[in-house]
Every structure is written in structure tokens, then in C-alpha cells.
Amino acid sequence: MRGRHDPRGSRPPRRAPPASKGDGETLGVVGLGHVGLATAVAFARRGREVWGFEVDPERARGLQEGRPWFAEEGLPESLAQCLRSGRLHVTADRGELLSHAQVIFLCLTTPSRPDGSVDTRFLEEECGRLGTHLRDEPGVRTFVVKSTAPPGTAEQLAIRLEKASGRARGTIPVAVNPEFLAEGSLLKDALNPSRIVVGAEDPVVGARVLSAYRGFPGERVLLTSSEAALVKYASNALLALKISFANELAPLAERAGADVYRVLQVVGQDPRLGPHFLRAGPGFGGSCFTKDLRGLQAFARDRGLSLPLVAGALEVNARQARHVVDLLEGALGLLAGRTVALLGLAFKAGTDDVRDSRAYPILGELLKRGARVRLHDPVATENFRRELPTLIAHGGGDSVSFCGSLSEALSSSEAALLQADWPEYRDAPAELWQLLGARLVVDARRSVDEERLRAAGIRYRALGRDPSWESGPPGTRARVPGPRFRRKASNRTPRPSSPNP
């Protein structure tokens, strides 16, 4: 990374000076969505006093009563605990927030515009409102952008805050503190970050933000604001590239008599690469990867650059839904008039978030080929139903129905296609799968116990594996035996394994 003021080129991240002032400061979190609520609860769990601001009064009331508005394992219990302890307060009043908090984390949505660029208007508008309330609040407030936003956003927000508050230029510090949280493990990730990255032009401001993380594990890294913002985009882009590489390899493995999971398991043993995110599946979804890759493309495009690797990752992801349906059609035959159970509507197990779920394009492809589809998810059905009219408006409404139970979905279908690896599917007894008319399961997540299904007479088609393997009896492989994951004895000292990416 090239330092902006260092003609010699690369320089290491700056070491933060020790922070003594500010250790007792109260924290604020603006926007109690997935990231904001997990952040607020994690700070409170680590002993900080936190004031959370939620603009939606109904959501704020629910949170004050200990009821998160989205599903996330462990969050309701931790929220209730923090409220009872008095370390966490929820308000819908900006003035009340600013009267208590000195370091304020901004956790607002930054959606994509049609051209892929990042829409920061929610951040900008909220900073204008907060700045107006600052007119009545003496003292210094430090604002921290935790939302994923392009380099340069922090500087623009500082100007917005200063204009709205009537304060002089340079008097309201704004830092960047990207989040590295995954839905399904939001609270765990927030409590135990792998690294804590803060971007600030003034090291004293950076140290003040880092002091908020007193008691948290994770390496502390202090960068400039632009560098910290780019770290977030680069991290998500690289993770998405690993997923798309695995998905690009999957069809090749199917035609080469190989199992892509067994191949990539060995590839991931290389400490330079690591196994994480090297798994083929229906593609990446959720609120981050697609949005952030498109945002990174737009940021580069505005500066006269192209990012062909990022474009390739998005292209592979877009076509993966078609490949998953191809697997189903190859095993079941033409889909026109056939009934299929699509299992898993959330973008992944462990959450009710359906944003950019791969279930949408898979459903669209099934309808395009004339299938009737029965939908099921343990927790995300209502969220998926709300987003569905856009797809249904283009035809197929009579061919889609929601099922209240797994048995209902399977008993009315010929085959099942697994999109999300919920434990309800992994642990389902073989008798349930026998309800399928054609006794066919296509597993896009490779999560169900194949041997158990095949022993019960269920045909199992696996993503990324030669389909002829399904003809062999349970416990065998009809074609390529694949690698044996057994290390040979060696006198060499083993190399240390790589840290998690």
C-alpha cells in the first residue's frame, strides 16, 4: 500500500498512540439494524455504556422490550441481558442520544444505485439531522462510519455535520471503522473480532475510537480513512472471488469425473490459501457481497479503471442459479409441469434475511422452465413472501405456493432442491424424504447425509460432482476414488496453519 505522503512507497500501518482519555466515554450507535444492534450489544456485553438510536419508533419500542426485529441466534437473550444491566439504552430521540454519547458509530444502510455506485444519502441525511441537534450540545463528539461506504465518505460527512451544526471546519472528527460480521454469527463476530481496523487522519482521533474496544480481542490496526474504507471492500471482494472460483470449478468437476468438494478440501490445505469460502454452492447472496462488489466496480470506473476479476466473480455468481436448475433437470427430466420443493429461502441458514437470496433467481429459473414450486424455510418465509411480487408479476403466480412444514413441501413435490443448509433439513429423517414422488434430492449446499438418503432409496444429486456417482451403492464411489485425506508420516516439522481470512 502506497503512503500518500511517503515518496519511498510502501509503509506499514501506523501504530496507535496509547489512549488514556476517553476510556470512560459513553458510546452511541445510530441505526439498530443487523450491524448496529450487534455492535451495540457487543459493546454493552464488554462493559461499555451504550445508547442506541433507532429512527423507527415501532422497532425502537420492540428493542426497548428486548425484542429484535430480525432473527439472529443468541441476540434476544443478550439484548435482554444488556437492557437489564442498564448498560444498553434504546431511544428514538437524537437529542437524548447526543446528550449522553461522546463517540457515535454510524450503522446505516448504503444501498446500490442502478449503476452499482453506492448510495450514501441515508448517512448524509442522518448526519445533517445529528448536526442540527449538535447546536444544543456543547463539547466534542467523534463520529465513526461503520457503514460500508467508499473512500472519501468520512470527509464528506464531516463537512455535512459541521455545516448543520454551525461549527468551524475541522472541529468534528469523523473516523472509519469497518465491520467484518457475518449474519448467523453476528454477535459472536462482534464480540470476538479477528481485527479491529480504524481509519483516521489524526492518530489521536484513531486512538480515541480504538479505546472504545477496550476488552475486545483482535489485532488493532490504524490506517487513514480511505485505506480503512478500502480494506472492507477488498476483503469482501476477495471472499466473493473464492466462492466464485469454487463455483466456476464445480461444472468442470462434474464433467471430469471428480468431486469439487474433495478437490477444494485439498487445495485449502495450502496455508497460503486456506479452506475458508472455498466451497461450491448456489452462489453468494445477502446484503454485502453483490452490493460491495458493484460498489467497488463503480468506484474504480469513476477513476478510469476496470476490475475484471471482480466482474468475473459477479458473472459466475449470476449464472450459478441456472447451473443448479440444470442439475435438477438433468436428474428429473424436463421441468414443465413438474412440481419441485425449493428448500431454504433465506440467503443462508441462521438468519431470516432474504436480501439477494439465491432462492430468487433459482425460483425464477424454475418458473421459466414451467415448473410448479413449493417453497419452505424455517424462519424466512414471510420476508421472502413480501419480496416475491416483483418476480411473480412477470408470470408464474399460480405455480408458486408456500408450505408451513417440510413434510407439506415434500409430500406435494416430486423432487427437492436445497438452497440453504438449515439443520431442519440436515437432520430430517429419511422417511420425510421418501414423501417425494420421484424420490430425488438435489443438494446445492452438500449438507444432507447422502449415505442415509441413498440407504432409504432416495436419489441424491450433488453439486460439483460427477452425476454417475449416484448410481453406485451406499458407501461406494462408482468412478474416481478421489483423494484420501491422510497425511503420510514425515520427519519434517509441520508448517503452522494460516490464520482465518
SS3 labels along 19-30:
CCCCCCCCEEEE
* Pairwise pLDDT comparison (343 vs 139), residue with the higher score: 343
Q: Which amino acid is at 316?
A: V
Q: What is the mean pLDDT of the chain?
A: 89
Same domain, 153 and 269: no
Same domain, 219 and 158: yes
The Cα angle at residue 33 between residues 423 and 129, in degrees rounded to 5: 175
**CA distance readout (Å), 103 to 25, 201, 375, 433, 480:** 7, 16, 45, 53, 59
CATH of the domain at 438: 3.40.50.720
Q: CB of 279 within 8 A of CB of 462?
A: no
Q: Is the pLDDT of residue 1 over 60?
A: no
Strands in 27-30's sheet, in edge-to-edge order, are 88-91, 50-53, 27-30, 103-106, 142-145, 174-176, 195-199, 219-223
Across the range 421-430, mean pLDDT stands at: 95
pLDDT in tens, 275-322: 999 999 999 999 999 999 999 999 999 999 999 999 999 999 999 999
* Strands in 21-158 per DSSP E: 27-30, 50-53, 88-91, 103-106, 142-145
Which residue in the list 82, 107, 127, 288 is annotated as catalytic? Answer: 288
Same domain, 137 and 265: no
**CA distance readout (Å), 219 to 213, 222, 235, 422:** 11, 10, 16, 33
Same domain, 143 and 274: no
Residue 249 falls inside a structural domain: no
Among 75-89, 385-399, 418-432, name the one with the lowest average pLDDT: 385-399
Q: Is the pLDDT of residue 486 over 80?
A: no
User: 145 is in which domain, residue-wise?
Assistant: 27-223
The fraction of the chain above a pLDDT of 70, given in percent, is 87
Same domain, 410 and 455: yes
Same domain, 273 and 141: no
Q: Is 288 a catalytic residue?
A: yes
Same domain, 413 and 267: yes
Same domain, 178 and 266: no
Residue 314 falls inside a structural domain: yes
Q: CB of 88 within 8 A of CB of 68?
A: no
pLDDT in tens, 166-201: 999 999 999 999 999 999 999 999 999 999 999 999
Residue 431 falls inside a structural domain: yes
Count up the domains in the chain and report the number. 2
**pLDDT at res. 467:** 81
Residue 248 falls inside a structural domain: no
Quote the pTM value: 0.86
Same domain, 323 and 215: no
Residue 244 falls inside a structural domain: no
Same domain, 290 and 432: yes
Same domain, 191 and 264: no
**pLDDT at res. 466:** 86
Across the range 109-128, mean pLDDT stands at: 97
Residue 345 falls inside a structural domain: yes
Q: Look at residue 100 and give its three-state secondary structure.
A: helix
pLDDT in tens, 490-501: 333 333 333 333
Q: Is the pLDDT of residue 7 over 70?
A: no
Residue 239 falls inside a structural domain: no
Same domain, 264 and 126: no
